[in-house]
Chain A
């Protein structure tokens, strides 16, 4: 089987990780809200939003269980890959099929 290189984005997440020497002892870290902990690298899929199709209905914004959807200045949806876990709920609820779930592999 042909071995595919992971997307650049994915590689960057991997390189961001700390090793055992750099990690704080016992994993004790300063308190932060969940915005501080980027959990987007848990997923195998990401929501890619076609802004030309998006009608700004906010369905995805309200349905996203991780608040990973934001609206840009033109009221078009954007997915924040730092938090998007690729569940696909937004794609299911999009009335104009503007959201495609793409595998990162």
Chain B
């Protein structure tokens, strides 16, 4: 275990600080609230000569990700950051990055989509990229933002994985909140992450290659299947990387975080910052004698279905606290994944999804307690699956 260097930083600053310590070869980014501070701080480091990075101030997020693709194809270590509309504008190139197997790392400051225009926390932007073949992580705090920046590079660049990796922290709630962050010394990061990424093939003047060639009915499906195989590898590699990182830092990282679940009858399932409040509610309810626990999904893609089943087996009912919007869907976004992961298995809980906290609306601790009571009622009424919007005014 390494002696930490304690700092006071916001989530954005923590990401920028980790990126500074990693010293990537290329950063191409465009500023968007609430990600701006990541790019601002990092461009300071570039200007002050603290990092050797080539910083590309592009004109849009579509260009940002395109520049990252080009840079990564040469074998460079590449980092970028965005949010909301920016991530949506990158969407086309997200598929190019994963299809060409370029281990780009992307920090997302989760923010609501327009319209109406809103700059505050919501995770829909990241969740809807679930099919883009990116490894997708969520963080709860500035500390996790810092740690996941470092771990993301290690996961993405693993030769068995070679998939781009994004991690999200909620806008303002994490990105702008000042917290204690235990940072690692530069040397520890150099030991954890190799100086250069391992490159099997690269686009260089000496070695001409065709990247992103035309592939039709004959081979397209085979190439896409490679990405699925890589995702299965990412599932194992992420576990290894997180346990290795846990050993260095003494902070326990797993793809899912289990909190007081062993003897629980009821549980909250959440991701990102919501998990903090959920755990506080668990403590409150435990004091009142309720057997309740919390499960936090840290890795959303690849979806840790076996781990979630093991953790939730035998629990009566689960409240899914989902800070994301979906319309006309049979469940909340994460609830749909959970239902698929648990369907047809033995001793699975009933699933109760709550769409909440859209556009940065706060989900308070009394409200989560209210959700807990609702879930209990639904379960007692014999309902196996319910979905509702929670915390909005009707009239």
Contact = CB atoms under 8 A, between A and B. Distances in A.
A30 B201 CA distance: 9
A71 B99 CA distance: 41
A24 B223 CA distance: 8
Interface in A3-36: 17-20, 23-32
Interface string A60-100: 00000000000000000000000000000000000000000
Interface string A20-62: 1001111111111000000001100000000000000000000
Contacts of A17: 218-219
Nearest to B214: A37
A93 to B, nearest CB: 27
A30 B222 contact: no
Interface of B: 99-102, 162, 200-201, 208-213, 215-216, 218-219, 222-223, 225-226, 229
Contacts of B216: 42
Nearest to A13: B218
Nearest to A41: B218
A25 B208 contact: no
B223 A20 contact: yes
Contacts of B212: 27
A25 B218 CA distance: 16
Nearest to B98: A26
B226 A20 contact: yes
A43 B238 CA distance: 44
Contacts of A23: 219, 222-223, 226
B205 to A, nearest CB: 12
A17 B218 CA distance: 8
A41 B213 CA distance: 17
A26 B99 contact: yes
A18 to B, nearest CB: 7
Contacts of B201: 24-25, 28
Which 8 residue pairs of A and B lie closest in terms of their CB atoms, listed nearest first?
A: A26-B101, A31-B208, A20-B222, A20-B225, A27-B223, A26-B100, A29-B210, A25-B101
A20, A23, A27 interface centre (most CB from chain B within 10 Å): A27
A19, A31, A41, A42 interface centre (most CB from chain B within 10 Å): A31
A105 B210 CA distance: 33
